[in-house]
Amino acid sequence: MTATLAPTPEDVVQHRTVTVVSRKAPIALGVVTALFALLLLLAARAGDATFRLASEGDLVALPDVTVPGTATAWVCVALGAAGTAVAALLVARGRRVPLWLSLVLAVVLLFGFLAWAAAGSAGDIPVTRLVGGSVLLAVPIVFGALGGVVGERAGVVNIAIEGQLLAGAFCAAVAGTVTGSPWAGLLAAVVAGVLVSLVLGVFAITYRVNQVIVGVVLNVLVIGLTSFLYSQVLVPNAETLNATTRFSRIAIPLLADIPVVGPALFNQSVVVYLMYLAVPAIWFALARTRWGLRLRAVGEHPKAADTVGIKVGRTRYLALVVAGAIAGVGGAFYTVVSVSSFGKEMTAGAGFIALAAVIFGKWDPVRAALAALLFGFASNLEGALSIVGAPVPSQFMLMLPYVVTIFAVAGLVGRSRAPAASGQPYVKE
Amino acid sequence: MSEPTRAAAPAGAAPAPATDTGGTDGGAATPPGDRRWHEAFARIVSGGWAVSLGAVVLAILAGSVMIAFTDEAVQESAGYFFARPADTFAAIGQAVGGAYAALFRGAVWNYEADSFAAAVRPLTQSLTYATPLIAAGLGVAVAFRAGMFNIGGQGQLLVSAAAAGWVGFAFDLPVGLHLVVAVVVGILAGALWAGIAGLLKAATGAHEVIVTIMLNYIAFYLLSYLLATPGLLQAPGSANPKTPAMAETAVMPGLLGDRYNLHVGFLLVLGAVVLVWWLLNRSSLGFGFRALGENAHAARVAGIDVRRTTVLAMGVAGALVGLAGTTQVLGLITTGFGADIDAGVGFDAITVALLGGSSPVGVLLAGILFGAFKAGGSSMQALEGVPIEIVLVVQSLIVLFIAAPPLVRAVFRLPQPGGRARRRPGRGATGTPTSQEVAA
């Protein structure tokens, strides 16, 4: 601000380097490690934990890995404490805690937790299924989050992800059943997602209605429409309108034979492979193409973009169409990959989780996809733990991912910054 | 964007700036009688009321189309439409008319009942359903006004219901005191649960949308655990995840006797409306909330403690949702509750707050409207077999149309206010935060 004033002799220009260091990472790591140690003290378990690495049809069957449960868990606690100490040391020296350190410690603590939970159990932890199930559960969340990222980077907050997923699932079910082809279902889902996006665009861009309002209301509208049509039309005609043929699994040669992760990641349906392609594609489109640059410009500073001749409204509409198409694919997952019929409100809040993943991933496609994978893993964990008969009530297992997310958001991610013009309608002067 | 406020709160309770109302300026010279009438008419049709009415009409029309298209008799007669078109129209009339008649009978006035007491019952039922919606809607609205998006109504409601219910059945207190203690505990529980989100946002910058969504899930599983564990909330000697019935001393007394479900909770909620109005418009705390919601940087510069205000705003929001939770367990469902006690109120509250333009009186009216839809929707499903979800469609369309006055004006060819086609949407007038504030 002082730059506009005339410089006076009294003004002394000072150069100081200020490093902002957050103490949150070591605190969060410390709290989680301490809680885990407390758990081990309060509920000690004897016996060995078995991790099953092999799955049916492996070329090279890996042996099961058996570790002493409690001892392993304590080793992990020690590692966690050491990591926390390193983080604290880094902070004390005025340096940032690298993200990889937090991630590695999270994996270590998770391993320790699994070892503790499976200790002394007759069942073993199926690692392959844990990974594969996580990816599957994450698919709609990843697509939803990607759609959310594209919309928000262009300056349109998309709370209607849930609605796009649900509309996609509904249309995929009907179109897939009528035509008998899952591809038609996928296409219909894309159209449905785009339609929801266009309604959002008409209200948010053309009529400049508050985008949060439109998003929330669109969710309710889609829930109402699909549930109404489901009860009124699909239920009486279940065979002719609501019984899709699902995509079959396709094993990718060589890759599918990699032990542990191969069958989990590379023996999936087309939609899952689309997800593998979509994440880098969206990243590339946003970060390395002219379209992405313009889109981000419109999201950060629409006036500046307008000044250099970028059509703000058109760019935002186009971004919404792309976002809707992506989210629609995520919706198709429910009815042409996961199960073969539509059910009332079957997305069950995945759109809101995707919204959380967008913010968790700081509006970056790759990070958002990783956050979505985390949520997928978390919701899959309970199934794995019920196999080994974990000593903790199942409700707490189910709760755990959400608690961890809060810790992560508060401790590791911190203040997230949205695109500057996100949510603001642009009025040309 | 100021239309919802004006539409829902014509009494001027909402602090809607009069800058964009149009038609009120230039009133210095008294126009001749003829012109005055003309101007008055123009003001009415360009004002918020006409838009709201238009929005409701459009939404109901859309609902009619859906009912007509999915009705079996209509589909059948449409098969021979060109032979006897009158049949189709008769069938449409019967399906649509029947559905809306059932809605009216279930929500306002049962004209087929044989006594006044029975005929008025639907109206009281609507108010009963409106009770938690208004309270929770106020909770979402207060957060909106402070620039935060409280998407965690569900979690706050579940936690407060659990707390109030626990006091309600597990304690033995004198009449009167028991109810007061239960209500206070429930409200505090809601405030604390929402306060977690406020505290985390203030202390670490964690985004309240993420935290409140996560707290919804945590509250749900926590309540499920409590309900499934003997000795905690589960009814003794039962295997169902359900609490025992509330003690009689903790039940909210009925307002109109035992024939009606309307209970004292409705009065508490009306009190909350007044309290929130006072808080937002007359208290310095509420001024802090609004300043934070309008512009957090300016609020900080003006000397408002942003962190404290953030925590308090979420706490007050949670307390109001907590009131909704207590009315659910101590007023509506007093025979013991399960994990579904939320009944969608937590999410409906967001729509109620939006329709009410985040003003207390607006939320009151929007809550009553949604309560009526809820009551009428069930009777529509029971009497005419029209799925209750049609109500969701009509509700959401109403909010959408009210939020976009230019669209409604274009459809009904109503004059644009002020005659100027382009004007800046008066954000902040409704108190709803811009999405940037929500997302930032």
Contact A46, A69 (CB under 8 A): yes
Whether the predicted pLDDT of B397 surpasses 80: yes
Nearest to B212 by CA among B263, B276, B271, B140: B140
Q: What residues of chain B lie within 8 A of the CB of A405, using their CB?
A: 210, 214
**B111 within some domain:** no
Q: Do A218 and A332 reside in the same domain of the chain?
A: yes
Please tell me whether residue B8 adopts helix, strand or coil conformation: helix
Nearest to A137 by CA among A385, A350, A352: A350
Domain of B324? 126-362
Chain B, nearest residue to A420 by Cα: B436
Where residue B18 falls among pLDDT bands split at 50, 70, 90?
Answer: very low
Task: Give the per-residue pLDDT at B133.
Answer: 94
**A312 within some domain:** yes
CATH code at position A149 = 1.10.3470
Nearest to A87 by CA among A130, A40, A31: A31
One-character DSSP codes across B252-278? PPBSS-TTS--BTHHHHHHHHHHHHHH
Which residue among A362, A379, A396 closes a domain?
A: A379
**A2 within some domain:** no
Containing A250, the helix (H) or strand (E) segment is strand A250-251
Which residue among A102, A123, A144 closes a domain?
A: A123
Q: Do A78 and A204 reside in the same domain of the chain?
A: no
Containing A66, the helix (H) or strand (E) segment is strand A65-68
Q: What residues of chain A lie within 8 A of the CB of B395, using their CB?
A: 220, 224
Q: Do A281 and A162 reside in the same domain of the chain?
A: yes
Nearest-10 crossing angle of helices B360-384, B389-403: 150
Where residue B41 falls among pLDDT bands split at 50, 70, 90?
Answer: low
Domain of A302? 130-379
Least-confidence region, from A42-56, A252-266, B74-88, B221-235: A42-56
pLDDT tens for residues B260-270?
Answer: 888 888 999 99
Task: Give the per-residue pLDDT at A380.
Answer: 81
Whether the predicted pLDDT of B277 surpasses 90: yes
Question: Distance (Å, rounded) from C-alpha A195 to C-alpha A198?
Answer: 5
One-character DSSP codes across A114-146? HHHHHTT-SS-EEHHHHHHHHHHHHHHHHHHHH
A208 → closest Cβ in B205, B217, B425: B425
Q: Do B400 and A217 count as a contact with CB atoms less than 8 A apart?
A: yes
**B437 within some domain:** no
Report how many domains make up chain A. 2
Q: Do A35 and A177 reside in the same domain of the chain?
A: no
Residue to test with chain A: of B1, B435, B437, B438, most A Cβ within 10 A = B435
Chain A CB within 8 Å of residue B392 CB: yes
**A427 within some domain:** no
Chain A CB within 8 Å of residue B57 CB: no
Q: What residues of chain B lie within 8 A of the CB of A418, using their CB?
A: 436, 439-440
Q: How far is B391 from chain A (nearest CA, A)?
A: 7
In the sheet with A65-68, reading across from the earlier edge strand, the strands are: A65-68, A48-52, A125-126
Cα–Cα–Cα angle for B104, B105, B108, nearest 5°? 65
pLDDT tens for residues B306-339?
Answer: 899 999 999 999 999 999 999 999 888 888 888 8
A399 → closest Cβ in B217, B399, B406: B217
Task: Give the per-residue pLDDT at A17.
Answer: 59
Question: Distance (Å, rounded) from C-alpha B438 to C-alpha B121?
Answer: 41
Task: Give the per-residue pLDDT at A413.
Answer: 59
Tell me the two tokens of residue B312: 């308090």
Chain B, nearest residue to A426 by Cα: B424
pLDDT tens for residues B406-425?
Answer: 788 888 877 766 554 444 44
Contact A148, A310 (CB under 8 A): no
Question: Distance (Å, rounded) from C-alpha B173 to C-alpha B181?
Answer: 9
Task: Give the per-residue pLDDT at B267.
Answer: 92
Q: What residues of chain A lie within 8 A of the CB of B200, using their CB?
A: 406, 409-410
Q: Do B393 and A224 count as a contact with CB atoms less than 8 A apart?
A: yes
Q: Do B389 and A228 count as a contact with CB atoms less than 8 A apart?
A: yes
Whether the predicted pLDDT of B291 surpasses 60: yes
Q: Would you call B322 exposed, middle or buried from its count of C-beta atoms within 10 A (0-12, 13-18, 19+)? A: buried
Task: Give the per-residue pLDDT at B431.
Answer: 42
Contact B381, B387 (CB under 8 A): yes
Top-confidence residue, B222 or A73 = B222
Cα A45 from chain centre: 33
Q: Do A405 and B214 count as a contact with CB atoms less than 8 A apart?
A: yes
Contact B340, B261 (CB under 8 A): no
Q: Do A212 and B438 count as a contact with CB atoms less than 8 A apart?
A: yes
Contact A148, A368 (CB under 8 A): yes
pLDDT tens for residues B142-157?
Answer: 998 998 888 889 999 9
Secondary structure of A270-332 in the HEC alphabet? HHHHHHHHHHHHHHHHHHHCHHHHHHHHHHHCHHHHHHCCCCHHHHHHHHHHHHHHHHHHHHH
**A425 within some domain:** no
Report how many domains make up chain B. 1
Cα–Cα–Cα angle for B66, A219, B391, nearest 5°? 40
pLDDT tens for residues B125-144?
Answer: 899 999 999 999 999 999 98
Q: Do B351 and A411 count as a contact with CB atoms less than 8 A apart?
A: no
**B77 within some domain:** no
Q: Do A306 and A259 reside in the same domain of the chain?
A: yes
Q: How far is B242 from chain A (nearest CA, A)?
A: 15
Chain A CB within 8 Å of residue B224 CB: yes
Task: Give the per-residue pLDDT at A132.
Answer: 83
B399 → closest Cβ in A217, A411, A425: A217
Q: Do A163 and A77 reside in the same domain of the chain?
A: no
**A54 within some domain:** yes
Q: Do A181 and A146 reside in the same domain of the chain?
A: yes
**A101 within some domain:** yes
A423 Ramachandran zone, left/alpha/beta (phi>0; psi -120 to 50): left
Task: Give the per-residue pLDDT at B26.
Answer: 39
Whether the predicted pLDDT of B244 surpasses 90: no
**A411 within some domain:** no
Tell me the two tokens of residue B214: 């996560």
Q: Do A207 and A86 reside in the same domain of the chain?
A: no
Nearest to A376 by CA among A143, A114, A165, A101: A143
Whether the predicted pLDDT of B435 surpasses 50: no
DSSP A409: I
Question: Distance (Å, rounded) from C-alpha A239 to C-alpha B65?
Answer: 25
Which residue among A98, A123, A148 closes a domain?
A: A123
Q: How far is B221 from chain A (nearest CA, A)?
A: 5
pLDDT in tens, chain A (429 residues): 444 445 455 555 666 655 555 667 778 788 888 888 887 887 777 777 777 776 665 556 677 777 777 888 888 888 888 988 888 888 888 777 777 887 788 888 888 888 887 777 767 777 777 888 888 889 999 999 999 999 989 988 888 899 999 999 999 999 999 998 899 999 999 999 999 999 999 988 888 887 877 888 898 899 999 999 998 888 888 888 888 888 888 888 878 777 777 777 888 888 899 999 999 999 999 999 999 999 999 888 888 888 888 888 899 999 999 999 999 999 999 998 888 889 888 888 888 889 888 887 888 899 899 889 888 887 787 777 776 666 677 778 777 767 877 877 776 655 566 777 777 778 776
